[in-house]
Amino acid sequence: MVSKVAKGKYKGYFPIIWLILCLFVSLLVFYIIQSLVALEWPIVRLFASLGLVDVFGKTSILGTTVIIDSQCSGFFSIFVYLALIFSPITILSFKRKLSAFFVGFILLYIANILRLFLIFWFADYFGLDTMHIFGWFLMSVLILGLWYYYNFKNSKCKSLKK
């Protein structure tokens, strides 16, 4: 008996399954690297030098203790972007995927710092939770925008430009 996958009935689902698998693997790599590399410390130092947090990355906003920790480093956004760029739904060559990832890495790290500034500056007006959710919404739009730009707008694939 031949399975439905072997007949090709579910062949179109492979890129979606591969994307989900890439996301899970990237999350595993994310937690391993996050425990080894502390990208949040330059952010903590920057915010401490501006007087927004203490030297440990801690402050109080609207009576809520806020701590800049490893989750605030932007690694999660970067690894979601990594999974998206290296998934089969991205039609770039491996070399172009690498360059798209490194440019995206830098842009997402800088955008994450700006996201944190938005949270600190506008939390008093709109609320901490609202600004936190809004910041993640903006990061998601940036991730998808970068992927769309590299995959479709900046792609040299002739089959997409018909």
pLDDT at 11: 63
Which tokens belong to 41? 């410390």
pLDDT at 14: 75
pLDDT tens string for the chain (162 positions)?
A: 444 545 556 666 777 788 788 778 877 776 776 666 667 778 888 888 888 888 878 888 777 788 887 777 787 888 888 888 888 788 888 888 888 889 998 999 899 999 988 888 888 888 888 888 898 899 999 999 998 898 887 665 544 444
Longest distance between any two alpha carbons in the chain, whole Å: 69
pLDDT at 7: 57
Give the whole-angstrom CA distance, residue 72 versus residue 44. Answer: 10
Which tokens belong to 25? 């693997």
With b for 16 or more beta-carbon neighbours within 10 A and e for fewer, the 107-143 pattern comes to bbbebbbebbebbbeebeeeebeebbebbeeebeebb
**H or E element: which one contains 61?**
strand 58-61
pLDDT at 141: 94
Which of 109, 90, 107 is CA-nearest to residue 154?
90
Give the whole-angstrom CA distance, residue 54 versus residue 51. Answer: 7
From residue 147, alpha-carbon distances to 35, 98, 103, 109, 140 in Å are: 27, 12, 11, 15, 11
From residue 74, alpha-carbon distances to 47, 120, 135, 154 in Å are: 15, 16, 11, 24
pLDDT at 157: 52
Question: What are the residue ranges spanned by the domains of the chain?
Answer: 72-153
